């Protein structure tokens, strides 16, 4: 049988602690040559959704984890746009599929090749992105961090909230997004997810000033904070480098990426001049020189202890979760599969619906 899980069912069984453990374990496995992150493939071309000019993108990423006996493939098929909101360019995905988004996760058994689980990617992806940032914070944020600023109130912001609260004793989270309704709604809806108090605030500066941890989980393609707002001892956590103020990254005492050499292929571009948009919003860091890159560490160095994390309460630190990898999906989805199977959650469909009687 093949287990079909909904986002809501995954939400019910997958805790941030599980996601933190899974993402840590699979990164250590890659480091020990005990798992594979296969190259991610992005294919982009101009498209038109109704009257809206956008970019169609097909993305797939896969990974294989022998210790768990599984491989996973995650698939996104999206119409991307880059609107200007409150003075910033955002990267957004249209709800072009009848008001919904596409995103699928297939989990395969390495023993039989059969798909053992199929589910949407939304909840799993939010948890594994959040977990990677949470692991960074575990090594880089002050242990006594109590005040957190959360910039952004979209899907990824929820993961950032949960993961940072899971690794540090956060008491208050100051939540900012340019739209007042969005920040009120976010605080209302996510209040029961964490013990910390969620407080909507009216500006990014108000959120960030005095915060021990600043977490950005936005769609912004330009910095969402200014270096001078940040105090000594702060940890800045971002889901993409474009969110980070270049001056702050340059001045930070320690700066880490998820990976400096991620398993990706060169994006396949059809009539598009740059990786992400017709305007070329690859991010400022692609223009930086060798010394800039050499200064950056990677998450795995922290996990293995090869590089020590924060050493005192005055250091400023940065973690940028610059890339998602297929193995994270294999690890987190496998955990969800185990939990759901043990607890009888989800629906089963005959595996033969997804297999065939010919030898392709």
Residues 139-168 that bind its own copies (CB under 8 A): 154-155
**Does residue 93 interact with its own copies by CB under 8 A?**
yes
Using CB under 8 A as the criterion, what x/- string covers residues 237-266 for binding its own copies?
A: ----------------------------x-
Return the axis-axis angle of helices 326-343 and 122-140, rounded to nearest 10°: 110
Sign of torsion, CA 150 151 153 154?
Answer: negative
| DSSP-derived secondary structure for 149-179 | EEE--SHHHHHHHHHHHHHS---EEEEE-SS
The tokens 């976010």 sit on which residue? 186
**Does residue 78 interact with its own copies by CB under 8 A?**
yes
Binding residue for its own copies, selected from 5, 14, 25, 106, defined by CB under 8 A: 106
Question: Could you report how far apart the first and last alpha carbons of the chain are, in Å?
Answer: 21
Residue 256, both tokens: 């880490």
- Cβ burial, residue 122 (10 Å; 0-12/13-18/19+): middle
Question: Taking contact as CB under 8 A, which single stretch among the options 17-25, 110-118, 307-315, 332-340 is the one that binds its own copies?
Answer: 110-118
Contact criterion met (CB below 8 Å) for 114 and 355: yes
- Residue 267's SS3 state is coil
**Does residue 98 interact with its own copies by CB under 8 A?**
yes
Question: Taking contact as CB under 8 A, which single stretch among the options 68-76, 183-191, 199-207, 306-314 is the one that binds its own copies?
Answer: 68-76
Binding residue for its own copies, selected from 12, 47, 274, 301, defined by CB under 8 A: 47
Please identify, using beta-carbon distances, which residue of 128 and 235 lies nearer to its own copies: 128
In the complex, what is the shortest distance from the CB of residue 45 to its own copies, in angstroms, rounded to a whole number?
6
**Does residue 111 interact with its own copies by CB under 8 A?**
yes
**Does residue 101 interact with its own copies by CB under 8 A?**
yes
Binding residue for its own copies, selected from 81, 89, 104, 296, defined by CB under 8 A: 104
**Does residue 125 interact with its own copies by CB under 8 A?**
yes
Using CB under 8 A as the criterion, what x/- string covers residues 264-283 for binding its own copies?
A: -x--x-xx------------
Please identify, using beta-carbon distances, which residue of 33 and 289 lies nearer to its own copies: 33
- Cβ burial, residue 286 (10 Å; 0-12/13-18/19+): exposed
Binding residue for its own copies, selected from 123, 176, 258, 319, defined by CB under 8 A: 123
Residue 255, both tokens: 């700066």
In the complex, what is the shortest distance from the CB of residue 114 to its own copies, in angstroms, rounded to a whole number?
4
Residue 122, both tokens: 């939304």
In the complex, what is the shortest distance from the CB of residue 123 to its own copies, in angstroms, rounded to a whole number?
7
In the complex, what is the shortest distance from the CB of residue 100 to its own copies, in angstroms, rounded to a whole number?
4
DSSP letter at 97?
A: B
Q: Which residues of 10-28 are buried (b: 16+ CB within 10 A; e: fewer)?
A: bbbbbebebbbbbbbbbbe
Pairing of strands 317-320, 235-238: parallel
The tokens 């090749």 sit on which residue? 113
The contacts of residue 108 (CB under 8 Å, 6+ apart) are 70, 71, 72, 73, 114, 115, 116
In the complex, what is the shortest distance from the CB of residue 130 to its own copies, in angstroms, rounded to a whole number?
13
Give the residues lining the site for its own copies (CB under 8 A): 7, 33, 35-36, 38-39, 41, 43, 45-49, 56, 58, 60, 62-64, 66, 69, 71, 73, 75-79, 93-98, 100-104, 106, 108, 110-115, 120-123, 125-126, 154-155, 265, 268, 270-271, 351-352, 354-360
């Amino acid at each position: 049988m093949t287990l079909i899980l909904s986002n809501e069912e995954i939400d019910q069984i997958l805790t941030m602690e599980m996601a933190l453990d899974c993402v840590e374990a699979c990164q250590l496995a890659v480091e020990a040559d005990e798992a594979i992150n296969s190259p991610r493939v992005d294919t982009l071309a101009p498209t038109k959704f109704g009257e809206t000019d956008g970019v169609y993108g097909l993305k797939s990423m896969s990974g294989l984890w022998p210790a768990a006996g599984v491989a996973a493939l995650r698939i996104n098929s999206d119409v991307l746009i880059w609107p200007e909101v409150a003075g910033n360019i955002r990267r957004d995905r249209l709800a072009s599929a009848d008001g919904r988004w596409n995103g699928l996760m297939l989990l395969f058994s390495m023993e039989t090749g059969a798909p053992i689980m199929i589910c949407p990617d939304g909840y799993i992806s939010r948890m594994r992105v959040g977990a990677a940032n949470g692991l960074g914070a575990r090594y880089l944020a002050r242990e006594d961090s109590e005040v957190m600023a959360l910039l952004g109130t979209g899907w990824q912001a929820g993961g950032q909230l949960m993961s940072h609260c899971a690794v540090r004793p956060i008491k208050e989270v100051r939540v900012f997004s340019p739209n007042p309704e969005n920040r009120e709604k976010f605080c209302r809806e996510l209040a029961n997810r964490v013990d910390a108090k969620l407080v909507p605030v009216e500006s990014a500066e108000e959120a960030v000033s005095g915060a021990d941890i600043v977490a950005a989980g936005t769609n912004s393609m330009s910095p969402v904070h200014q270096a001078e707002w940040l105090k000594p001892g702060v940890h800045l956590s971002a889901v993409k480098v474009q969110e980070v103020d270049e001056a702050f990254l340059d001045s930070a005492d320690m700066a880490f990426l998820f990976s400096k050499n991620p398993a990706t292929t060169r994006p396949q571009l059809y009539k598009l001049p740059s990786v992400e948009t017709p305007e070329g919003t690859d991010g400022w860091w692609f223009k930086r020189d060798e010394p800039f890159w050499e200064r950056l560490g990677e998450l795995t160095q922290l996990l293995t202890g090869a590089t020590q994390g924060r050493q005192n309460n005055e250091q400023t630190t940065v973690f940028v979760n610059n890339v998602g990898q297929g193995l994270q999906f294999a690890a987190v989805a496998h955990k969800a599969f185990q939990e759901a199977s043990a607890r009888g959650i989800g629906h089963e469909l005959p595996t033969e619906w997804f297999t065939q009687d010919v030898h392709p």
